[in-house]
């Protein structure tokens, strides 16, 4: 029954999905003692964002909620436009909200949240290049988006790997598109270093600050988080096996897009494991490919009591994560 309900496209389903993060966010909106994000940004735009966060906690929390809701909407629209999950469904937004709202420490503006928004826009530009016969300037846009994301959250720079992966996976070889992507990556940094030069600020200051991103330790996770993400990992295994069993039967464009999301997930995991300064804010990146993977599974799986229970447990453990 739960699975059948959330697989529908009635207005009530959309309302329930939107109210889920809003209800979970309310204590953070109106509690002055809400814990601040443990991440300290060393990226220039990230520092500005966190200074706003410290001064205007209520506005910061509300803005973070709005960006989360916008990200969920963009994920649904991405599938509506490119149809890699076969059917119109709100499930990607549902799973994105379930995964990202559980960390109440992140219920304020976070550099990683803004960076993840830019990466979602990046996928719009990358997927749009598939089957485009002309030379695509979207790869210049993609390079600019990755660099802007890195100016908010430096570890996001590693996601530049998605651009050559997309060039190989989605496009025939065209040296101009590779050159455009490199130019796009460089432009925001050229602009930044020009500001440093005009303001008589040594460029070495930028690199010295970034060293701090590699010095912070990992966080200690609460019991509820450990239980919830153990369950997420279990569903990752189930959904991945289901995807592998169907991968030969899905349309070519959907297969290529899911391969790209797989690489996004893999690079995000590597960022978390390799860069010591990363923490639970990486959930903003990891939740994007997971939302599509889980959305695909729960749309295509058998509607029986086992899958009903699997979906229901996502909601139950989300509440549990807040309590313990």
pLDDT tens-digit profile of 198-253? Answer: 877 777 777 776 766 666 655 667 788 888 899 999 999 999 999 999 888 888 89
Residue 84 has a CB neighbour count (10 Å cut-off) of 20
Question: Residue 61: helix, strand or coil by DSSP?
Answer: helix
Residue 197, pLDDT > 70, answer: yes
Q: Indicate the number of domains in the chain.
A: 1
User: Residue 43: inside a domain, yes or no?
Assistant: yes
CA torsion, ordered 147, 149, 153, 156, to nearest 10 deg: -70
Token pair recorded at residue 111: 């550099």
Distance CA 9, CA 89 (A): 7
Distance CA 148, CA 161 (A): 15
User: Residue 6: inside a domain, yes or no?
Assistant: no
User: Residue 261: inside a domain, yes or no?
Assistant: yes
Residue 33, pLDDT > 50, answer: no
Q: What is the pLDDT of residues 238-288, one digit of tens each?
A: 999 999 998 888 888 999 999 999 999 999 999 998 888 788 899 999 999
Residue 40, pLDDT > 60, answer: no
User: Residue 292: inside a domain, yes or no?
Assistant: yes
Instruction: Specify whether the CB–CB gap between 117 and 10 falls below 8 A.
Output: no
User: Residue 30: inside a domain, yes or no?
Assistant: no
Distance CA 273, CA 267 (A): 10
Distance CA 287, CA 292 (A): 9
Distance CA 20, CA 78 (A): 21
Which candidate, 177, 186, 29, places its Cα nearest to that of 108? Answer: 29
Average pLDDT for the chain: 88
In order of 41, 46, 181, the CA distances from 281 in angstroms are: 11, 13, 27
Q: Residue 34 has what pLDDT?
A: 47
User: Residue 265: inside a domain, yes or no?
Assistant: yes
Q: What is the pLDDT of residues 106-134, one digit of tens each?
A: 888 889 999 999 999 999 999 999 887 77
User: Residue 10: inside a domain, yes or no?
Assistant: no
User: Residue 133: inside a domain, yes or no?
Assistant: yes
Q: pTM above the 0.85 mark?
A: yes
Q: Residue 217 has what pLDDT?
A: 57
What residues make up the domain containing 202?
38-323
Give percent of the chain above pLDDT 70.
93
């Amino acid at each position: 029954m739960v699975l059948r309900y959330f697989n529908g496209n009635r207005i009530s389903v959309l309302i329930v999905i939107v109210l889920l993060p809003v209800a979970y966010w309310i204590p953070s909106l109106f509690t002055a003692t809400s814990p601040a994000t443990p991440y300290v940004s060393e990226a220039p735009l990230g520092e500005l964002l966190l200074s706003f966060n410290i001064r205007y906690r209520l506005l910061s929390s509300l803005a973070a909620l709005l960006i989360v809701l916008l990200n969920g909407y963009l994920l649904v629209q991405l599938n509506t436009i490119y149809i890699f999950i076969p059917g119109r469904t709100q499930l990607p937004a549902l799973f994105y909200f379930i995964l990202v709202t559980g960390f109440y420490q992140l219920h304020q503006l976070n550099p990683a949240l803004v960076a993840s928004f830019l990466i979602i826009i990046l996928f719009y530009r990358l997927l749009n290049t598939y089957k485009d016969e002309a030379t695509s300037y979207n790869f210049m846009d993609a390079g600019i988006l990755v660099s802007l994301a890195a100016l908010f959250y430096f570890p996001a720079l590693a996601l530049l790997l998605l651009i050559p992966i997309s060039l190989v996976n989605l496009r025939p070889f065209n040296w101009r598109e590779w050159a455009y992507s490199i130019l796009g990556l460089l432009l925001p940094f050229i602009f930044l270093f020009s500001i440093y030069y005009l303001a008589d600020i040594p460029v070495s200051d930028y690199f010295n600050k970034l060293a701090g991103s590699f010095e912070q330790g990992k966080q200690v996770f609460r019991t509820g988080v450990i239980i919830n993400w153990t369950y997420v990992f279990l569903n990752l295994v189930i959904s991945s096996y289901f995807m592998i069993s169907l991968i030969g039967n899905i349309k070519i464009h959907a297969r290529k897009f899911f391969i790209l999301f797989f690489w996004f997930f893999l690079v995000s995991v590597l960022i978390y494991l390799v860069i010591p300064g990363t923490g639970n804010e990486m959930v903003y990146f990891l939740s994007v490919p997971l939302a599509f993977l889980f959305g695909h599974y729960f749309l295509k799986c058998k509607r029986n009591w086992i899958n009903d229970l699997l979906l229901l447990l996502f909601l139950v453990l989300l509440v549990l994560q807040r309590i313990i």
